[in-house]
Structure 1
Amino acid sequence: MQLASFSGFIKTLFYIIAFYYIFRFLAKLFLPLIVKKVVEKAGENMYQQQQRQQQSSWQKNQNDDTVIYNTDNVKKPRETKKVGDYVDYEEID
């Protein structure tokens, strides 16, 4: 059976603090580089996906001889429903 000594406790505490500060120092050095690489890779993947999507839609439109008009943006008259008049209530104490 081993007994814990005060010097062993101080030594362990020193190692923990030293590891913490070394980790913080290395994180400040390398973390921005890693994040930059991840963001660049995500941007590349998004660009490639967009290119593939455009190519597939272009090929689909080339194969069809029909013309498609986008009628979603056509302004339609907006109907308003009259439910009733607004009544202002007052509280009575």
Structure 2
Amino acid sequence: MGLLRTILIIALVYYAIKILSRIFAPYLVKYAAKKAEERFGGQFGQFHRQQEKEVPKKEGEVTIDKMPQTKTSNKDVGDYVDFEEID
């Protein structure tokens, strides 16, 4: 009797979640799309405002906005071995 009751409860919970997801899924998707639109729109607005502040540049002029990070390498990692193919 306990096994049958457990299976019945699992089936009811499964179908309840299935029905509720069909009801609330469109609202959740709309909410997520709205939030994504606000986030991307905010980033675009900042980019657009930044471009307006910049002075027009002459053609061919190069500017560097960000200096690249210097990479440090450890030269003591190992030895270089030159292999020679033997026939």
| TM-score, normalised via structure 2 length | 0.62
What is the percent sequence identity of the aligned residues? Answer: 23
The residue aligned with 2:35 is: 41
- How many pairs align? 60
Note the aligned Cα RMSD (angstroms). Answer: 1.6
The residue aligned with 1:31 is: 25
Alignment partner of 1:52 is 2:41 = no
Question: Which is higher, the Rg of structure 1 or of structure 2?
Answer: 1
Superposition deviation, residue 32 in structure 1 = 1.1
Superposition deviation, residue 50 in structure 1 = 0.6
List 4+ stretches of structure 1 deviating above 6 A: none
Q: Of 5, 9, 18, which residue of structure 2 is paired with 1:15?
A: 9
5+ residue gaps, structure 2, are: 61-87
5+ residue gaps, structure 1, are: 1-6, 71-93
